[in-house]
Amino acid sequence: MKPNALYAPRLAHFAAGAALALAVICADRASAEITDSAPNGFSVGENAHIAAPSDKVYAALIAPQHWWSGKHTFSGNAANLTFDAKAGGCWCEAMPDGGSVEHMTIVFASPGKVLRLRGAMGPFQEMATTTVMTWSLKPAGDGTDVTLVSSTGGYTKGGLQNLAPIVDHVFGEQLARLKAYVETGAAAPN
Protein backbone atom coordinates (compact mmCIF):
# COMPACT_ATOMS: atom_id res chain seq x y z
CA MET A 1 0.00 0.00 0.00
CA LYS A 2 1.34 3.46 -0.85
CA PRO A 3 2.23 5.76 2.06
CA ASN A 4 -0.34 8.34 0.94
CA ALA A 5 -3.09 5.74 1.23
CA LEU A 6 -1.97 5.04 4.79
CA TYR A 7 -1.56 8.63 5.91
CA ALA A 8 -4.15 10.50 3.82
CA PRO A 9 -7.10 9.60 6.09
CA ARG A 10 -5.09 10.55 9.18
CA LEU A 11 -3.98 13.87 7.68
CA ALA A 12 -7.51 14.66 6.50
CA HIS A 13 -8.85 13.86 9.97
CA PHE A 14 -6.26 16.13 11.58
CA ALA A 15 -6.77 18.91 9.04
CA ALA A 16 -10.53 18.85 9.63
CA GLY A 17 -9.95 19.30 13.34
CA ALA A 18 -7.04 21.76 13.15
CA ALA A 19 -8.97 24.57 14.82
CA LEU A 20 -10.03 22.27 17.66
CA ALA A 21 -6.48 20.93 18.00
CA LEU A 22 -5.12 24.47 18.14
CA ALA A 23 -7.61 25.35 20.88
CA VAL A 24 -6.58 22.28 22.86
CA ILE A 25 -2.91 23.09 22.36
CA CYS A 26 -3.33 26.63 23.58
CA ALA A 27 -5.41 25.57 26.58
CA ASP A 28 -3.39 22.58 27.76
CA ARG A 29 0.23 23.07 26.70
CA ALA A 30 1.70 26.45 27.48
CA SER A 31 5.11 25.04 26.56
CA ALA A 32 4.10 24.56 22.91
CA GLU A 33 4.48 27.23 20.30
CA ILE A 34 4.17 27.79 16.58
CA THR A 35 7.12 30.14 16.21
CA ASP A 36 6.62 30.97 12.53
CA SER A 37 4.13 30.06 9.83
CA ALA A 38 3.94 30.94 6.12
CA PRO A 39 2.82 29.25 2.88
CA ASN A 40 6.36 27.98 2.27
CA GLY A 41 7.01 26.64 5.77
CA PHE A 42 6.68 26.80 9.52
CA SER A 43 8.54 26.24 12.77
CA VAL A 44 7.20 24.75 15.97
CA GLY A 45 8.76 24.42 19.39
CA GLU A 46 8.05 22.14 22.33
CA ASN A 47 9.56 22.18 25.82
CA ALA A 48 9.43 19.82 28.79
CA HIS A 49 11.32 19.22 31.99
CA ILE A 50 12.10 15.54 32.47
CA ALA A 51 13.08 14.33 35.95
CA ALA A 52 16.14 12.35 34.84
CA PRO A 53 19.75 13.07 33.89
CA SER A 54 20.42 14.08 30.29
CA ASP A 55 22.24 10.83 29.42
CA LYS A 56 19.15 8.81 30.43
CA VAL A 57 16.87 11.14 28.44
CA TYR A 58 19.14 10.86 25.39
CA ALA A 59 19.23 7.05 25.64
CA ALA A 60 15.43 7.01 25.62
CA LEU A 61 15.22 9.59 22.83
CA ILE A 62 17.20 7.36 20.47
CA ALA A 63 14.90 4.42 21.22
CA PRO A 64 11.59 5.75 19.79
CA GLN A 65 10.14 2.24 19.58
CA HIS A 66 9.53 2.57 23.34
CA TRP A 67 7.75 5.93 23.44
CA TRP A 68 6.69 7.13 19.95
CA SER A 69 2.98 6.60 19.27
CA GLY A 70 2.13 3.81 16.83
CA LYS A 71 -0.66 6.09 15.55
CA HIS A 72 2.06 8.16 13.92
CA THR A 73 3.82 5.37 12.03
CA PHE A 74 3.15 3.83 8.62
CA SER A 75 2.92 0.33 10.08
CA GLY A 76 0.74 1.30 13.03
CA ASN A 77 3.31 -0.18 15.43
CA ALA A 78 6.11 1.84 17.05
CA ALA A 79 7.98 -1.42 17.73
CA ASN A 80 8.91 -1.32 14.03
CA LEU A 81 10.96 1.86 14.50
CA THR A 82 14.76 1.74 14.55
CA PHE A 83 17.27 4.48 15.15
CA ASP A 84 20.97 4.57 14.25
CA ALA A 85 22.17 7.51 16.36
CA LYS A 86 25.18 8.69 14.37
CA ALA A 87 25.67 11.15 11.52
CA GLY A 88 24.23 9.52 8.39
CA GLY A 89 22.20 7.09 10.49
CA CYS A 90 18.56 6.36 9.79
CA TRP A 91 15.39 6.78 11.82
CA CYS A 92 13.66 4.01 9.94
CA GLU A 93 10.60 1.78 10.15
CA ALA A 94 10.18 -1.83 9.08
CA MET A 95 6.95 -2.57 7.25
CA PRO A 96 4.97 -5.80 7.74
CA ASP A 97 5.32 -6.71 4.04
CA GLY A 98 9.12 -6.64 4.21
CA GLY A 99 9.35 -3.02 3.06
CA SER A 100 10.84 -0.11 4.92
CA VAL A 101 10.48 3.64 5.45
CA GLU A 102 13.17 6.24 6.08
CA HIS A 103 11.65 8.91 8.29
CA MET A 104 14.71 11.08 8.86
CA THR A 105 18.51 11.01 8.69
CA ILE A 106 20.65 11.94 11.66
CA VAL A 107 22.88 14.90 10.80
CA PHE A 108 24.24 15.77 14.27
CA ALA A 109 24.48 13.59 17.36
CA SER A 110 26.06 14.74 20.62
CA PRO A 111 24.99 12.21 23.29
CA GLY A 112 23.24 13.81 26.24
CA LYS A 113 23.19 17.23 24.53
CA VAL A 114 21.84 17.53 20.97
CA LEU A 115 20.24 15.36 18.34
CA ARG A 116 19.44 16.86 14.90
CA LEU A 117 17.66 15.09 12.07
CA ARG A 118 16.65 16.02 8.53
CA GLY A 119 14.02 14.49 6.31
CA ALA A 120 10.30 14.27 5.67
CA MET A 121 8.14 12.36 8.13
CA GLY A 122 4.78 10.76 7.50
CA PRO A 123 2.57 12.54 4.98
CA PHE A 124 5.30 15.10 4.29
CA GLN A 125 7.18 12.44 2.32
CA GLU A 126 4.83 12.98 -0.61
CA MET A 127 5.28 16.73 -0.55
CA ALA A 128 8.24 18.73 -1.78
CA THR A 129 9.31 19.51 1.79
CA THR A 130 12.15 18.99 4.21
CA THR A 131 12.08 19.15 7.99
CA VAL A 132 14.97 19.83 10.34
CA MET A 133 14.22 18.56 13.84
CA THR A 134 16.53 19.47 16.72
CA TRP A 135 16.29 17.99 20.21
CA SER A 136 18.34 19.93 22.78
CA LEU A 137 18.95 18.58 26.29
CA LYS A 138 20.23 20.75 29.15
CA PRO A 139 20.75 19.67 32.77
CA ALA A 140 18.42 21.67 35.03
CA GLY A 141 17.76 21.15 38.72
CA ASP A 142 16.55 17.61 39.31
CA GLY A 143 16.60 16.63 35.66
CA THR A 144 16.82 17.78 32.07
CA ASP A 145 15.11 20.55 30.12
CA VAL A 146 14.25 19.19 26.69
CA THR A 147 13.53 21.48 23.75
CA LEU A 148 12.28 20.20 20.41
CA VAL A 149 12.41 22.66 17.51
CA SER A 150 11.10 21.51 14.15
CA SER A 151 11.24 23.62 11.00
CA THR A 152 9.58 22.48 7.78
CA GLY A 153 9.99 24.23 4.45
CA GLY A 154 9.13 23.61 0.83
CA TYR A 155 6.02 23.37 -1.29
CA THR A 156 2.64 21.72 -1.06
CA LYS A 157 -0.59 22.65 -2.77
CA GLY A 158 -2.46 25.11 -0.58
CA GLY A 159 0.64 26.01 1.42
CA LEU A 160 2.20 24.61 4.57
CA GLN A 161 0.91 27.17 7.08
CA ASN A 162 -2.29 25.23 7.85
CA LEU A 163 -0.28 22.15 8.85
CA ALA A 164 1.69 23.90 11.62
CA PRO A 165 -0.95 23.37 14.37
CA ILE A 166 -1.23 19.69 13.46
CA VAL A 167 2.52 19.13 13.56
CA ASP A 168 2.80 21.07 16.80
CA HIS A 169 0.11 18.89 18.36
CA VAL A 170 1.72 15.62 17.19
CA PHE A 171 5.19 16.62 18.39
CA GLY A 172 3.78 17.84 21.71
CA GLU A 173 2.14 14.45 22.15
CA GLN A 174 5.40 12.66 21.39
CA LEU A 175 7.40 14.80 23.82
CA ALA A 176 4.83 14.06 26.54
CA ARG A 177 5.19 10.35 25.75
CA LEU A 178 9.00 10.59 25.96
CA LYS A 179 8.69 12.32 29.35
CA ALA A 180 6.31 9.64 30.62
CA TYR A 181 8.55 6.85 29.36
CA VAL A 182 11.70 8.27 30.97
CA GLU A 183 10.02 9.10 34.28
CA THR A 184 7.78 6.05 34.69
CA GLY A 185 9.10 3.40 32.31
CA ALA A 186 5.91 3.42 30.23
CA ALA A 187 4.57 5.83 27.62
CA ALA A 188 0.84 6.43 27.37
CA PRO A 189 -1.07 3.78 25.41
CA ASN A 190 -1.27 4.33 21.66
pLDDT digits (tens, 9 = 90+) for 119-153: 999 999 999 999 999 999 999 999 999 999 999 99
Q: Is-contact 54 114, C-beta < 8 A?
A: no
pLDDT higher than 60, residue 2: no
For residues 28 and 46, give the distance between their C-alpha atoms in angstroms, rounded to a whole number: 13
- The pLDDT of residue 28 is 38
Q: Is-contact 155 129, C-beta < 8 A?
A: yes
Residue 74's SS3 state is coil
All structural domains of the chain with their residue ranges: 3-184
- The pLDDT of residue 9 is 47
Report the amino acid identity of residue 46: E
The CATH code that applies to domain 3-184 is: 3.30.530.20
pLDDT higher than 80, residue 72: yes
Q: What's the angle, vertex CA 46, arms to CA 42 and CA 48, rounded to 5?
A: 175
* Bigger pLDDT: 19 vs 130: 130
- The pLDDT of residue 190 is 73
